Amino acid sequence: MATCDMCGNDYARAFTITRADGASGVYDSFECATHAMAPRCGHCGCMVLGHGVDVDDETFCCSHCARQSTGADITDSVGV
């Protein structure tokens, strides 16, 4: 059995996730894994669970947050 890095639960079905940057962790659920490993929006701080918006080296949850923080000329919809 392995212990979840997020909640400390000792669980027989725990799994390991390794990010592209090499960081890894052991988790007992996807909920714990997302709380520990998901990037946070550079403006509002929410977890970015989808593709997000990247401006330079910073990740945002949406174009609104990216515009507010960086002034980037982007929108969430094509043709808007």
Residue 78 has pLDDT above 90, yes or no: no
Query: Which positions ≥6 away from 26 have C-beta within 8 Å?
Result: 2, 3, 4, 5, 14, 15, 16
pLDDT attached to residue 80: 58
> If you average pLDDT over residues 14-28, what whole number do you get?
95
Domain ranges of the chain: 1-37, 38-80
Band the pLDDT of 76: cuts 50, 70, 90: confident
Mean pLDDT of the chain: 94
Is-contact 3 16, C-beta < 8 A?
Answer: no
Pairing of strands 53-55, 15-18: unpaired
pTM, full prediction:
0.78
Which has more confidence, 46 or 77?
46
Please count the residues of the chain: 80
